[in-house]
Each structure stands twice: as C-alpha cells, then as structure tokens.
Amino acid sequence: MQMKGDMFDRRKVALRVLFGMLVLSIACIFIKNLFEEWSFSSYQISEFLINYSGGFVRRGLLGEILLWFTRVTGVDVVWTIKVISVVCCVSVVWFFTVMFRRKGYPLYLIPLCFFCGGIVMSEVWIRKDFLMFCCFIPVLWIYGRTGLPLVVKVLLINLITVFMILTHEVFGLFTLPALFFLLYKSVKERGLPVAGSALLAAVSLLPSVIAFVMVTGVHGNGETAQIIWDSWCAVSGIEQSPLPGNNALAFLDSSGTETFRWHFGINFLREEHYLLPVWYWLAVVFTVYYISTNAALVFRKSPEAYTADDRLTFAAVWSFQFLCLLPMFIGLSIDYIRIFFYLTASSFALFLIIPKETLKGLFPTFWLNGINRLNLHLDRLLPPNRTVVTLLMLTVGISYSGFVLKTIWMSTALYRIFLLLSEPFLLLRDYVLQ
C-alpha cells in the first residue's frame, strides 16, 4: 500500500515537472515576442490597424480608436498594441488559472495547444483572440449577476458584444447563439410561452445581430486597404508606400465562395506526405473532446469536484460551441490552433461562470442522450484514466495554419519539453564551435 502511494506521488511530481517545463517554454516565447520588432506589415500588428479611414469595414472599430489615440498622444501604436495584448493575455490566463484552482480542475489543460498555450506557441497572442475573451467573460458574468435587472443586463451585454463584433466578427459566432439560449431561458422562467420567449430573446440581442450582419456584408477592397495603410503612414511619420502583400489589410476583401473553397481545400484536401488532412482533423476533434471532458474527471481531488453529471453538462456545452464554430472549421479559416482556442476557452468560460443547472437546462433531452451515448462509446474504446489522458495531453498537436506536419509536431507539449531540454546544449555547442 505504501509502495503504491510512493509511486503515485512520484508520478504526480513527474507530471508537475513536465508541465512546469511546458509553461516555462511557453513563457520564453511570450517574452521573446514581447521584445521582438513587429512592423506595421506583420500580420499580428496589421490586424489591429484596420480602421474606418476608407469607410465602414469589418474589424475596424478598435483600429479607429487606436488611430485617434495615436494622433492625440503620439505613442507608438506598436507598443500600444503590445500592452493591450499583454493585459488581455495575462487576464485570460489568470481567470482560467484562478477558476480552475477554485473548482479543483487540473491546470495542466491551460498551456496545451488547444487552449491558451496554443495561441502563445504559435506566436499569435499579439492578435485579437485574448481580447475577445476579455469581453466574453464579462458578458457571461453580467448575465449571471442576480442583482441586476434584466433590462440593464441586456443593455450592458449588447454594448460589449457590439464593440467586440465590430472589432472582430468571429466573436459573434461563439457568443450570440449561447447568449440567445441563456436569455431565452431567463425570459421563459418568467412565465412567457415558448414563442414569446424566443422572440423576446431575439429582440434583446437585435443590436448585436445587426452589427454581426453589417460586418459580414462589408469587407472593403484593395482601395480601402490602401487608404487605411496611408492613414497609419501619415500618423506615424512613415513614408507612404504601396500596401505590402502579406498582412491583414491585404486580406481585407477576402470573402465569398472562392475564399471558402480555398480554405476548405487547405483544411481537408491538400495532402502532405500522402496524408489527407480530413482524417487527422477528425481524430484531433475527438482527442480534444476526450481530453477536455475527462481531464477534470481523472485528476479531480474529490468525487464532488467534477461529477459524471458535470462531465455530461460540459460535454453538451462543448459540442454546442463546436457546432457554432463549425463554419470556421470547414471553410472560413485555416488557423485551426486559434479556432480550437475559441472552442475550448468559450466552453470552459460558460461552464465555469454559468450555474450548472442553468446550462444543463438549455439542452433538450435528445441532445443530452446523444452526448451520453458518445461518452459511453468513447469510454469503452478508451477508458479514461490518468495515464491515457496524460499521454494524449503530451502528444496532441494542432498546426498553426492549414495542415502542416512540422507545425503539428512543434505544437505538442512533448516537443516543447524536448526543446527546452535541448536549448542549453545547443547554446553550449554553438559556443564551443565559435
């Protein structure tokens, strides 16, 4: 008995050391990016520069605010963007760390490639992804406040949601459906019929829906992008020049069926080393689902921390968010590491903030029964335990963009740990060979 306890303790220490090394590796990337020289033409910075200088376009609101701020203060916009990104990144990671510790869930999930770690590992944390969750989390918190009148909740929710949709339209995909059903449930509990409750919930979100429709229909064009580029050249004292090709401004007008087909082909049909991506992504979806739904179960500190009913509720939330983001997975994007972050972070935020009874009540019986059957099949195929979940956490990988085996391997926890171990020897080798 004592021997088993000692072995368990050694495994726990080993696991903590491994994931400590993963966190250290990710922190090194974060610090390197922070002090790296980012130009206006980089994708990371240029995404923030989109503004309304050439007329109303999608993703332009924050850029308009930044343009005004730069004109007024003269502060370097690149460092303004870095500060915003650092604050948002640290805030989101802090939120999940605190909430996971409070609930007794394993922190091992947070630095993985399909959660917060993936955004930093792929060096895209200086983008709008963490900002989205600095809005998504307060929106859920406002909804859950019992002391606020429903009218005040709706006004505040729309204010934040409209701001974020005008900053990045993807926010609407994983936010509006969840908000609709949450508001529908709140209204229905007041005694209104089903149709009336649905209508009132839809009307409550009308400003946000209008904003979403507007940004999906107004993309701008090459001329608009050049005007935006010129506006930043003028305010930053840079000599005006033609817009560089490989940045967010250059892709401002990317929309329509051609872009959808291009994304679909890269995501599912473009082979690498005779492998079709479609089979890999199917396996990754089920792997991420399995880890996300079972990690808290196998690493729980007590049976009450994460029950079988909790697993069912979280799985229902995860599958619903997956359905909402399905257009992104299929043909609206090739940045899978970011899409999986939206999926995982939004699912856990809902699960951590909204009461479990409320969440479970959102789903019809057939949905919960279907999820339960899926869980039973997966349990029979791969019974969840610490060894299985740990191995999957160490080896799951998601490419930064498209289907690239090299970046899939580089996104795994195992690679990052080996890289950290190799760095001192590589430095020593370079020093000796000088």
Model pTM? 0.94
**Which residues, in sequence order, are CB contacts of 352 under 8 Å at separation 6+?**
96, 99, 103
pLDDT at 251: 77
Q: What amino acid occupies position 102?
A: R
Main-chain phi, psi angles of 334, to 5 degrees: -120, 0
Predicted local distance difference test score (pLDDT) of residue 82: 94
Report CA-CA distances (Å) from 327 to 110, 120, 193, 272, 334: 25, 24, 31, 23, 11
Residue 21: name the closest of 111, 88, 96, 106 by CA.
111
User: What are residue 275's DSSP bridge partners?
Assistant: 272
CA atoms lying within 13 Å on the CB side of residue 340: 34
The 3-state DSSP class for residue 113 equals coil
> Rounded to an integer, what distance in angstroms lies between the CA atom of residue 160 and that of residue 139?
7
Q: Which of 124, 130, 135, 123 is nearest to 93 (CA)?
A: 130
Residues of the chain with pLDDT under 70: 1-8, 240, 253-256
* Residues contacting residue 122 through CB under 8 Å, at least 6 positions apart: 337, 338, 400, 407, 411
